[in-house]
Protein backbone atom coordinates (compact mmCIF):
# COMPACT_ATOMS: atom_id res chain seq x y z
CA UNK A 1 0.00 0.00 0.00
CA UNK A 2 1.34 3.44 -0.88
CA UNK A 3 1.08 6.35 1.57
CA UNK A 4 2.10 10.01 1.62
CA UNK A 5 4.59 10.93 4.34
CA UNK A 6 4.54 14.68 5.05
CA UNK A 7 6.85 16.63 7.35
CA UNK A 8 4.79 19.72 8.00
CA UNK A 9 5.45 23.27 9.09
CA UNK A 10 7.28 24.57 6.01
CA UNK A 11 5.67 27.55 4.23
CA UNK A 12 5.17 26.99 0.47
CA UNK A 13 6.88 29.17 -2.13
CA UNK A 14 7.45 29.27 -5.89
CA UNK A 15 4.95 28.54 -8.65
CA UNK A 16 2.65 25.68 -9.60
CA UNK A 17 0.96 25.03 -12.96
CA UNK A 18 -2.60 23.78 -12.82
CA UNK A 19 -3.60 20.81 -14.99
CA UNK A 20 -6.71 20.32 -17.11
CA UNK A 21 -10.00 20.03 -15.23
CA UNK A 22 -10.86 16.47 -14.15
CA UNK A 23 -14.61 17.08 -14.22
CA UNK A 24 -14.40 18.60 -17.69
CA UNK A 25 -12.17 15.79 -19.01
CA UNK A 26 -14.50 13.02 -17.81
CA UNK A 27 -17.38 14.69 -19.64
CA UNK A 28 -15.49 15.64 -22.83
CA UNK A 29 -13.80 12.27 -23.43
CA UNK A 30 -17.12 10.32 -23.56
CA UNK A 31 -18.49 13.09 -25.84
CA UNK A 32 -15.97 11.90 -28.45
CA UNK A 33 -18.18 8.79 -28.81
CA UNK A 34 -20.65 11.04 -30.67
CA UNK A 35 -18.02 11.85 -33.27
CA UNK A 36 -17.06 9.36 -36.03
CA UNK A 37 -13.66 10.99 -36.51
CA UNK A 38 -10.38 11.94 -34.83
CA UNK A 39 -10.58 14.38 -31.93
CA UNK A 40 -7.34 15.90 -30.62
CA UNK A 41 -7.98 16.85 -26.99
CA UNK A 42 -5.31 18.88 -25.19
CA UNK A 43 -4.64 19.73 -21.53
CA UNK A 44 -5.99 16.32 -20.47
CA UNK A 45 -4.87 15.60 -16.89
CA UNK A 46 -2.95 12.35 -16.38
CA UNK A 47 -5.00 11.09 -13.41
CA UNK A 48 -6.45 7.67 -12.65
CA UNK A 49 -10.05 8.71 -13.42
CA UNK A 50 -9.00 9.70 -16.95
CA UNK A 51 -6.85 6.58 -17.41
CA UNK A 52 -9.78 4.34 -16.41
CA UNK A 53 -12.18 6.16 -18.72
CA UNK A 54 -9.78 5.84 -21.67
CA UNK A 55 -9.36 2.12 -20.87
CA UNK A 56 -13.15 1.72 -20.95
CA UNK A 57 -13.42 3.51 -24.30
CA UNK A 58 -10.50 1.55 -25.78
CA UNK A 59 -12.24 -1.65 -24.68
CA UNK A 60 -15.28 -0.50 -26.64
CA UNK A 61 -13.17 -0.15 -29.79
CA UNK A 62 -12.14 3.51 -29.65
CA UNK A 63 -8.62 4.24 -30.91
CA UNK A 64 -6.66 6.08 -28.22
CA UNK A 65 -3.30 7.73 -28.91
CA UNK A 66 -1.24 9.79 -26.47
CA UNK A 67 1.30 11.53 -28.74
CA UNK A 68 2.63 13.78 -25.94
CA UNK A 69 1.91 14.57 -22.28
CA UNK A 70 -1.54 16.10 -21.86
CA UNK A 71 -2.68 15.24 -25.38
CA UNK A 72 -5.16 12.47 -26.26
CA UNK A 73 -6.22 11.64 -29.81
CA UNK A 74 -9.48 9.74 -29.77
CA UNK A 75 -11.09 8.10 -32.81
CA UNK A 76 -14.48 6.58 -32.03
CA UNK A 77 -15.42 5.92 -35.67
CA UNK A 78 -15.62 2.19 -35.03
CA UNK A 79 -17.14 0.97 -31.75
CA UNK A 80 -17.08 -2.81 -31.70
CA UNK A 81 -18.27 -3.33 -28.12
CA UNK A 82 -21.02 -0.78 -27.24
CA UNK A 83 -21.38 -2.20 -23.71
CA UNK A 84 -18.67 -0.70 -21.47
CA UNK A 85 -16.74 -3.17 -19.27
CA UNK A 86 -18.75 -3.35 -15.99
CA UNK A 87 -15.62 -4.02 -13.91
CA UNK A 88 -14.06 -0.74 -15.06
CA UNK A 89 -17.34 1.19 -14.95
CA UNK A 90 -17.62 0.34 -11.26
CA UNK A 91 -14.36 2.20 -10.62
CA UNK A 92 -15.50 5.52 -12.00
CA UNK A 93 -18.54 7.62 -11.17
CA UNK A 94 -18.32 9.56 -14.42
CA UNK A 95 -18.84 6.29 -16.35
CA UNK A 96 -22.51 7.23 -16.34
CA UNK A 97 -21.75 9.80 -19.06
CA UNK A 98 -21.41 6.81 -21.39
CA UNK A 99 -25.19 6.35 -21.03
CA UNK A 100 -25.92 9.72 -22.64
CA UNK A 101 -23.15 9.46 -25.23
CA UNK A 102 -24.19 5.96 -26.41
CA UNK A 103 -27.87 6.91 -26.46
CA UNK A 104 -26.98 9.96 -28.53
CA UNK A 105 -24.81 8.00 -30.97
CA UNK A 106 -26.73 4.72 -31.32
CA UNK A 107 -30.20 5.40 -29.92
CA UNK A 108 -29.62 2.75 -27.28
CA UNK A 109 -27.23 1.92 -24.44
CA UNK A 110 -26.59 -0.65 -21.74
CA UNK A 111 -24.27 0.62 -19.00
CA UNK A 112 -23.73 -0.79 -15.50
CA UNK A 113 -24.14 1.56 -12.57
CA UNK A 114 -20.95 3.46 -11.67
CA UNK A 115 -18.82 3.48 -8.54
CA UNK A 116 -16.64 6.39 -7.38
CA UNK A 117 -16.60 8.54 -4.22
CA UNK A 118 -19.33 7.37 -1.84
CA UNK A 119 -19.43 10.26 0.67
CA UNK A 120 -23.14 10.59 0.03
CA UNK A 121 -25.94 8.82 -1.83
CA UNK A 122 -25.43 9.63 -5.50
CA UNK A 123 -28.81 9.04 -7.19
CA UNK A 124 -29.24 9.39 -10.97
CA UNK A 125 -33.00 9.94 -11.07
CA UNK A 126 -32.55 13.29 -12.82
CA UNK A 127 -30.43 11.68 -15.52
CA UNK A 128 -33.19 9.11 -16.08
CA UNK A 129 -35.83 11.86 -16.09
CA UNK A 130 -33.86 13.56 -18.87
CA UNK A 131 -33.44 10.43 -20.96
CA UNK A 132 -37.17 9.67 -20.69
CA UNK A 133 -38.03 13.24 -21.71
CA UNK A 134 -35.96 12.65 -24.87
CA UNK A 135 -38.15 9.64 -25.72
CA UNK A 136 -36.01 6.81 -24.36
CA UNK A 137 -37.52 3.67 -22.88
CA UNK A 138 -35.39 3.20 -19.76
CA UNK A 139 -34.97 -0.12 -17.95
CA UNK A 140 -33.32 0.23 -14.56
CA UNK A 141 -31.84 -3.07 -13.44
CA UNK A 142 -30.19 -3.99 -10.13
CA UNK A 143 -26.84 -2.74 -11.34
CA UNK A 144 -27.38 -1.41 -14.87
CA UNK A 145 -29.39 1.05 -16.94
CA UNK A 146 -30.61 -0.01 -20.38
CA UNK A 147 -32.14 2.35 -22.92
CA UNK A 148 -33.78 2.07 -26.32
CA UNK A 149 -36.07 4.30 -28.36
CA UNK A 150 -39.59 4.56 -26.90
CA UNK A 151 -42.71 4.22 -29.01
CA UNK A 152 -42.41 7.78 -30.34
CA UNK A 153 -38.72 7.47 -31.03
CA UNK A 154 -35.96 9.73 -29.68
CA UNK A 155 -36.38 13.48 -30.07
CA UNK A 156 -35.37 16.80 -28.59
CA UNK A 157 -37.62 18.01 -25.78
CA UNK A 158 -37.84 20.17 -22.69
CA UNK A 159 -36.37 18.90 -19.40
CA UNK A 160 -36.83 20.77 -16.15
CA UNK A 161 -34.42 19.41 -13.53
CA UNK A 162 -35.84 19.07 -10.00
CA UNK A 163 -32.38 19.65 -8.56
CA UNK A 164 -29.32 21.40 -10.03
CA UNK A 165 -27.26 18.44 -11.19
CA UNK A 166 -23.93 18.63 -13.02
CA UNK A 167 -24.14 15.00 -14.06
CA UNK A 168 -27.69 15.16 -15.33
CA UNK A 169 -26.97 18.38 -17.26
CA UNK A 170 -23.94 16.76 -18.92
CA UNK A 171 -25.74 13.50 -19.70
CA UNK A 172 -28.73 15.23 -21.30
CA UNK A 173 -26.42 17.41 -23.43
CA UNK A 174 -24.61 14.29 -24.64
CA UNK A 175 -27.86 12.48 -25.45
CA UNK A 176 -29.45 15.48 -27.21
CA UNK A 177 -26.60 16.77 -29.43
CA UNK A 178 -27.51 14.50 -32.37
CA UNK A 179 -31.25 14.10 -31.74
CA UNK A 180 -33.75 15.68 -34.14
CA UNK A 181 -35.35 18.83 -32.72
CA UNK A 182 -34.59 21.23 -29.89
CA UNK A 183 -33.81 20.30 -26.30
CA UNK A 184 -34.10 22.80 -23.46
CA UNK A 185 -32.61 21.96 -20.06
CA UNK A 186 -34.08 24.14 -17.34
CA UNK A 187 -32.51 24.49 -13.89
CA UNK A 188 -29.27 23.34 -15.50
CA UNK A 189 -25.93 23.29 -13.65
CA UNK A 190 -23.66 26.26 -14.51
CA UNK A 191 -20.23 24.86 -13.58
CA UNK A 192 -17.24 25.78 -15.79
CA UNK A 193 -17.05 22.18 -16.99
CA UNK A 194 -20.60 22.41 -18.37
CA UNK A 195 -19.49 25.37 -20.50
CA UNK A 196 -16.34 23.49 -21.49
CA UNK A 197 -18.37 20.50 -22.72
CA UNK A 198 -20.68 22.76 -24.72
CA UNK A 199 -17.70 24.55 -26.27
CA UNK A 200 -16.09 21.21 -27.16
CA UNK A 201 -19.28 19.92 -28.82
CA UNK A 202 -19.81 23.20 -30.69
CA UNK A 203 -16.22 23.01 -31.97
CA UNK A 204 -17.20 19.62 -33.40
CA UNK A 205 -20.30 21.05 -35.11
CA UNK A 206 -22.98 20.90 -32.41
CA UNK A 207 -25.45 23.72 -31.85
CA UNK A 208 -25.63 24.44 -28.10
CA UNK A 209 -26.27 27.75 -26.41
CA UNK A 210 -26.85 28.96 -22.87
CA UNK A 211 -24.27 26.71 -21.19
CA UNK A 212 -23.23 28.46 -17.97
CA UNK A 213 -26.75 29.73 -17.41
CA UNK A 214 -29.64 27.82 -15.85
CA UNK A 215 -31.17 27.20 -19.29
CA UNK A 216 -29.18 25.24 -21.87
CA UNK A 217 -30.56 24.94 -25.42
CA UNK A 218 -29.45 22.19 -27.79
CA UNK A 219 -30.52 22.05 -31.43
CA UNK A 220 -29.76 18.52 -32.63
CA UNK A 221 -27.51 18.28 -35.71
CA UNK A 222 -27.12 15.51 -38.30
CA UNK A 223 -23.52 14.69 -37.45
CA UNK A 224 -20.38 15.96 -35.75
CA UNK A 225 -16.83 16.11 -37.07
CA UNK A 226 -13.52 15.58 -35.28
CA UNK A 227 -11.44 18.65 -34.43
CA UNK A 228 -9.03 19.96 -31.77
CA UNK A 229 -9.93 21.23 -28.32
CA UNK A 230 -8.09 22.19 -25.11
CA UNK A 231 -9.69 21.49 -21.73
CA UNK A 232 -10.01 24.35 -19.21
CA UNK A 233 -7.80 24.44 -16.11
CA UNK A 234 -9.07 22.63 -13.00
CA UNK A 235 -10.87 25.07 -10.67
CA UNK A 236 -10.76 22.62 -7.75
CA UNK A 237 -7.12 21.62 -8.16
CA UNK A 238 -6.24 25.33 -8.20
CA UNK A 239 -8.45 25.94 -5.16
CA UNK A 240 -6.75 23.09 -3.35
CA UNK A 241 -3.27 24.61 -3.85
CA UNK A 242 -4.54 28.06 -2.85
CA UNK A 243 -6.04 26.59 0.34
CA UNK A 244 -2.75 24.77 1.02
CA UNK A 245 -0.82 28.07 0.93
CA UNK A 246 -3.46 29.76 3.07
CA UNK A 247 -3.12 27.00 5.68
CA UNK A 248 0.63 26.32 5.60
CA UNK A 249 1.65 29.90 4.83
CA UNK A 250 3.89 31.08 2.01
CA UNK A 251 3.92 32.94 -1.29
CA UNK A 252 2.92 31.02 -4.42
CA UNK A 253 2.03 31.90 -8.01
CA UNK A 254 -0.70 29.51 -9.23
CA UNK A 255 -0.40 29.42 -13.03
CA UNK A 256 -2.77 28.31 -15.82
CA UNK A 257 -6.02 29.28 -14.12
CA UNK A 258 -9.11 31.22 -15.18
CA UNK A 259 -9.38 33.72 -12.28
CA UNK A 260 -13.12 34.21 -12.89
CA UNK A 261 -13.71 30.53 -12.09
CA UNK A 262 -11.82 31.00 -8.83
CA UNK A 263 -13.73 34.05 -7.49
CA UNK A 264 -15.97 32.02 -5.14
CA UNK A 265 -12.88 30.40 -3.58
CA UNK A 266 -10.37 33.27 -3.54
CA UNK A 267 -12.87 35.79 -2.15
CA UNK A 268 -13.48 33.52 0.85
CA UNK A 269 -9.77 32.93 1.49
CA UNK A 270 -9.12 36.68 1.20
CA UNK A 271 -11.86 37.19 3.80
CA UNK A 272 -9.90 34.77 6.04
CA UNK A 273 -6.77 36.91 5.67
CA UNK A 274 -4.87 35.50 2.69
CA UNK A 275 -3.52 38.08 0.22
CA UNK A 276 -4.80 37.24 -3.29
CA UNK A 277 -3.73 38.91 -6.54
CA UNK A 278 -5.42 38.02 -9.85
CA UNK A 279 -3.51 38.13 -13.14
CA UNK A 280 -4.79 37.22 -16.64
CA UNK A 281 -4.17 33.48 -16.25
CA UNK A 282 -2.61 33.21 -12.81
CA UNK A 283 -3.30 33.96 -9.16
CA UNK A 284 -0.71 34.88 -6.51
CA UNK A 285 -1.50 33.94 -2.94
CA UNK A 286 0.44 35.08 0.11
CA UNK A 287 -0.38 33.97 3.63
CA UNK A 288 1.27 34.05 7.03
CA UNK A 289 -0.78 30.99 7.90
CA UNK A 290 -2.59 33.10 10.50
CA UNK A 291 -6.22 33.24 9.31
CA UNK A 292 -9.48 34.66 10.64
CA UNK A 293 -12.57 32.52 11.18
CA UNK A 294 -15.39 32.77 8.63
CA UNK A 295 -18.70 31.25 7.54
CA UNK A 296 -19.06 29.17 4.37
CA UNK A 297 -22.10 27.59 2.75
CA UNK A 298 -21.41 25.39 -0.28
CA UNK A 299 -23.61 26.08 -3.30
CA UNK A 300 -23.74 25.09 -6.96
CA UNK A 301 -21.54 27.28 -9.18
CA UNK A 302 -20.97 30.24 -8.94
CA UNK A 303 -21.27 29.60 -5.19
CA UNK A 304 -18.53 28.14 -3.00
CA UNK A 305 -17.92 24.64 -4.44
CA UNK A 306 -18.81 21.57 -2.40
CA UNK A 307 -15.58 20.05 -3.75
CA UNK A 308 -13.68 22.65 -1.69
CA UNK A 309 -15.58 21.94 1.56
CA UNK A 310 -12.90 19.71 3.09
CA UNK A 311 -10.03 21.95 2.05
CA UNK A 312 -11.52 25.14 3.52
CA UNK A 313 -12.34 23.21 6.71
CA UNK A 314 -8.61 22.72 7.28
CA UNK A 315 -8.08 26.49 6.95
CA UNK A 316 -10.90 27.01 9.45
CA UNK A 317 -9.32 24.52 11.88
CA UNK A 318 -6.22 26.74 11.92
CA UNK A 319 -8.02 30.10 11.96
CA UNK A 320 -8.37 32.44 14.89
CA UNK A 321 -11.97 32.12 16.15
CA UNK A 322 -14.94 29.90 15.44
CA UNK A 323 -16.08 29.17 11.87
CA UNK A 324 -19.25 27.58 10.49
CA UNK A 325 -19.30 25.39 7.40
CA UNK A 326 -22.63 24.32 5.87
CA UNK A 327 -22.98 21.73 3.09
CA UNK A 328 -25.97 22.42 0.86
CA UNK A 329 -25.24 20.37 -2.28
CA UNK A 330 -25.04 16.87 -0.75
CA UNK A 331 -26.85 15.58 2.30
CA UNK A 332 -23.46 15.39 4.00
CA UNK A 333 -19.78 15.26 3.23
CA UNK A 334 -18.08 15.79 6.60
CA UNK A 335 -17.51 12.20 7.58
CA UNK A 336 -14.77 11.60 5.05
CA UNK A 337 -12.28 13.76 6.92
CA UNK A 338 -13.51 15.50 10.11
CA UNK A 339 -12.65 12.60 12.42
CA UNK A 340 -9.18 12.47 10.86
CA UNK A 341 -8.70 16.22 11.37
CA UNK A 342 -9.81 15.86 15.00
CA UNK A 343 -7.09 13.22 15.49
CA UNK A 344 -4.66 15.95 14.36
CA UNK A 345 -6.00 18.33 16.99
CA UNK A 346 -8.86 20.05 15.16
CA UNK A 347 -11.99 20.93 17.10
CA UNK A 348 -15.06 20.23 14.92
CA UNK A 349 -18.70 19.71 15.97
CA UNK A 350 -21.11 18.44 13.33
CA UNK A 351 -24.83 19.16 13.58
CA UNK A 352 -26.68 17.89 10.50
CA UNK A 353 -25.42 19.85 7.50
CA UNK A 354 -23.35 22.31 9.53
CA UNK A 355 -19.92 21.90 11.07
CA UNK A 356 -18.73 24.33 13.74
CA UNK A 357 -14.94 24.60 13.68
CA UNK A 358 -13.11 26.16 16.63
CA UNK A 359 -9.72 27.33 15.37
CA UNK A 360 -6.75 25.88 17.22
CA UNK A 361 -3.17 27.03 17.63
CA UNK A 362 -1.98 24.31 15.28
CA UNK A 363 -2.39 20.72 14.15
CA UNK A 364 -0.01 17.85 14.87
CA UNK A 365 0.97 15.03 12.52
CA UNK A 366 -0.50 11.52 12.95
CA UNK A 367 -1.50 8.68 10.62
CA UNK A 368 -4.77 9.48 8.85
CA UNK A 369 -6.83 7.77 6.16
CA UNK A 370 -8.40 9.30 3.04
CA UNK A 371 -12.00 8.23 2.41
CA UNK A 372 -12.67 10.15 -0.79
CA UNK A 373 -10.85 12.34 -3.27
CA UNK A 374 -11.32 15.78 -1.70
CA UNK A 375 -11.12 14.45 1.87
CA UNK A 376 -7.72 13.02 0.96
CA UNK A 377 -6.61 16.36 -0.50
CA UNK A 378 -7.66 18.08 2.71
CA UNK A 379 -5.60 15.67 4.80
CA UNK A 380 -2.56 16.49 2.66
CA UNK A 381 -3.15 20.21 3.32
CA UNK A 382 -3.48 19.47 7.04
CA UNK A 383 -0.19 17.54 6.97
CA UNK A 384 1.58 20.44 5.24
CA UNK A 385 0.39 22.85 7.94
CA UNK A 386 0.80 20.49 10.92
CA UNK A 387 3.86 20.11 13.12
CA UNK A 388 5.60 16.76 12.93
CA UNK A 389 5.00 13.96 10.46
CA UNK A 390 1.64 13.07 8.92
CA UNK A 391 1.08 9.78 7.08
CA UNK A 392 -1.88 9.72 4.71
CA UNK A 393 -3.23 6.28 3.79
CA UNK A 394 -5.59 5.33 0.92
CA UNK A 395 -3.90 7.82 -1.35
CA UNK A 396 -5.42 6.15 -4.43
CA UNK A 397 -8.39 8.41 -3.75
CA UNK A 398 -6.18 11.50 -4.05
CA UNK A 399 -4.47 10.22 -7.19
CA UNK A 400 -7.87 10.00 -8.90
CA UNK A 401 -7.95 13.76 -9.27
CA UNK A 402 -4.55 15.41 -8.68
CA UNK A 403 -1.94 15.11 -11.42
CA UNK A 404 1.73 14.92 -10.29
CA UNK A 405 0.82 16.01 -6.75
CA UNK A 406 4.16 15.06 -5.14
CA UNK A 407 6.17 16.75 -7.92
CA UNK A 408 4.10 19.93 -7.74
CA UNK A 409 4.18 20.18 -3.93
CA UNK A 410 7.89 19.31 -3.70
CA UNK A 411 8.63 22.11 -6.17
CA UNK A 412 6.87 24.45 -3.71
CA UNK A 413 9.21 23.35 -0.92
CA UNK A 414 6.85 20.86 0.72
CA UNK A 415 8.51 17.94 2.49
CA UNK A 416 6.29 15.18 1.10
CA UNK A 417 7.09 11.79 -0.36
CA UNK A 418 5.16 8.79 -1.64
CA UNK A 419 6.18 5.65 0.23
CA UNK A 420 5.29 2.08 -0.76
CA UNK A 421 4.64 0.09 2.43
C1 LIG B 1 -20.27 16.29 -10.02
O2 LIG B 1 -20.87 15.17 -9.39
C3 LIG B 1 -18.80 16.18 -9.71
N4 LIG B 1 -18.27 14.95 -10.30
C5 LIG B 1 -18.59 16.17 -8.20
O6 LIG B 1 -17.19 16.20 -7.98
C7 LIG B 1 -19.19 17.44 -7.60
O8 LIG B 1 -19.13 17.34 -6.20
C9 LIG B 1 -20.64 17.60 -8.04
O10 LIG B 1 -20.75 17.53 -9.48
C11 LIG B 1 -21.22 18.94 -7.60
O12 LIG B 1 -20.47 19.97 -8.15
C13 LIG B 1 -17.99 14.96 -11.62
O14 LIG B 1 -18.18 15.96 -12.30
C15 LIG B 1 -17.43 13.67 -12.18
P16 LIG B 1 -24.58 16.50 -9.05
P17 LIG B 1 -22.41 14.81 -9.75
O18 LIG B 1 -25.38 15.64 -9.97
O19 LIG B 1 -22.68 15.15 -11.16
C20 LIG B 1 -28.27 15.31 -6.33
C21 LIG B 1 -15.13 15.55 -7.21
O22 LIG B 1 -14.68 15.64 -6.07
N23 LIG B 1 -28.71 14.52 -7.49
O24 LIG B 1 -24.36 17.93 -9.40
O25 LIG B 1 -22.68 13.44 -9.28
C26 LIG B 1 -27.01 14.73 -5.71
O27 LIG B 1 -27.32 13.71 -4.80
C28 LIG B 1 -16.54 15.07 -7.40
O29 LIG B 1 -14.53 15.87 -8.26
C30 LIG B 1 -29.95 13.92 -7.47
O31 LIG B 1 -30.69 14.03 -6.50
O32 LIG B 1 -23.17 15.84 -8.80
C33 LIG B 1 -26.43 15.94 -5.02
O34 LIG B 1 -27.08 16.11 -3.77
C35 LIG B 1 -17.16 14.61 -6.09
N36 LIG B 1 -30.36 13.21 -8.56
C37 LIG B 1 -26.81 17.09 -5.96
O38 LIG B 1 -27.88 16.60 -6.75
C39 LIG B 1 -29.57 13.07 -9.67
O40 LIG B 1 -29.99 12.42 -10.65
C41 LIG B 1 -25.68 17.52 -6.89
O42 LIG B 1 -25.21 16.37 -7.58
C43 LIG B 1 -28.29 13.69 -9.67
C44 LIG B 1 -27.90 14.42 -8.58
Q: Contact 301/189 with Cβ under 8 angstroms?
A: yes
Query: Residue 181's pLDDT is what?
Result: 97
CA-wise closest residue to 47 among 172, 231, 200:
231
- In this predicted model, what pLDDT tens digit does every residue of 357-388 receive, in sequence order? 999 889 999 999 999 999 999 999 999 999 99
Distance 199 CA to ligand 1 centre (A): 21
Tell me if 2-18+233-420 shares its fold with 22-230.
yes
Residue extents of the structural domains in the chain: 2-18+233-420, 22-230
264 catalytic per annotation: no
Candidate CATH numbers 3.40.50.150, 3.65.10.10, 3.30.565.10, 3.30.365.10; the one for domain 2-18+233-420: 3.65.10.10
Q: What is the mean pLDDT of residues 271-278?
A: 98
Query: Residue 116's pLDDT is what?
Result: 62
pTM over 0.95: yes
Nearest atom within ligand 1 for CA of residue 301: 12
Residue 122 has pLDDT above 90, yes or no: no
Residue 167 has pLDDT above 70, yes or no: yes
Residue 120 has pLDDT above 80, yes or no: no
Residue 117 has pLDDT above 80, yes or no: no
Residue 114 has pLDDT above 90, yes or no: no
Distance 93 CA to ligand 1 centre (A): 10
Candidate CATH numbers 3.30.70.141, 3.65.10.10, 1.10.3720.10, 3.40.50.2000; the one for domain 22-230: 3.65.10.10
| 145 within ligand 1 shell (Cβ under 6 A) | no
Residue 16 has pLDDT above 70, yes or no: yes
Distance 330 CA to ligand 1 centre (A): 8
Residue 134 has pLDDT above 90, yes or no: yes
Under the banding of pLDDT at 50, 70 and 90, the label for residue 289 is confident
| 416 within ligand 1 shell (Cβ under 6 A) | no
- In this predicted model, what pLDDT tens digit does every residue of 50-105 receive, in sequence order? 999 999 999 999 999 999 999 999 999 999 999 999 999 999 999 999 999 999 99
- In this predicted model, what pLDDT tens digit does every residue of 174-195 receive, in sequence order? 999 999 999 999 999 999 999 9
Distance 386 CA to ligand 1 centre (A): 31
Query: Residue 331's pLDDT is what?
Result: 87
The residue whose CA is least distant from atom 28 of ligand 1 is 307
| 122 within ligand 1 shell (Cβ under 6 A) | yes
Distance 301 CA to ligand 1 centre (A): 12
Average pLDDT of the chain?
Answer: 96
Question: Dihedral sign, CA of 296, 11, 375, 113?
Answer: positive
The catalytic position among 117, 264, 313, 315 is: 117
Query: Residue 360's pLDDT is what?
Result: 83
Query: Residue 356's pLDDT is what?
Result: 98
- In this predicted model, what pLDDT tens digit does every residue of 208-245 receive, in sequence order? 999 999 999 999 999 999 999 999 999 999 999 999 99
| 94 within ligand 1 shell (Cβ under 6 A) | yes
| 187 within ligand 1 shell (Cβ under 6 A) | no
Nearest atom within ligand 1 for CA of residue 22: 29
| 110 within ligand 1 shell (Cβ under 6 A) | no
Query: Residue 249's pLDDT is what?
Result: 97
Amino acid sequence: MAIYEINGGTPLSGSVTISGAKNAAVAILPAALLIPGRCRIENVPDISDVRILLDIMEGMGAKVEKPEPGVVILDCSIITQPMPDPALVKKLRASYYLMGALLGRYGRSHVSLPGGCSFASRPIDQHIKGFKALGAKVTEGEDFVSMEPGENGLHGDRVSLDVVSVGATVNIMLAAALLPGKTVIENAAKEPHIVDLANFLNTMGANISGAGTDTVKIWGVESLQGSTYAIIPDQIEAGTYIAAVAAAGGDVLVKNVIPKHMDCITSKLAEMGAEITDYDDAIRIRSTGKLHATTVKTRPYPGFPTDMQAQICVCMALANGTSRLTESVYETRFFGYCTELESMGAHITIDGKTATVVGMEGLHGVTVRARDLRAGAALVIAGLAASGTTRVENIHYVERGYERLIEKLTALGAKIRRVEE
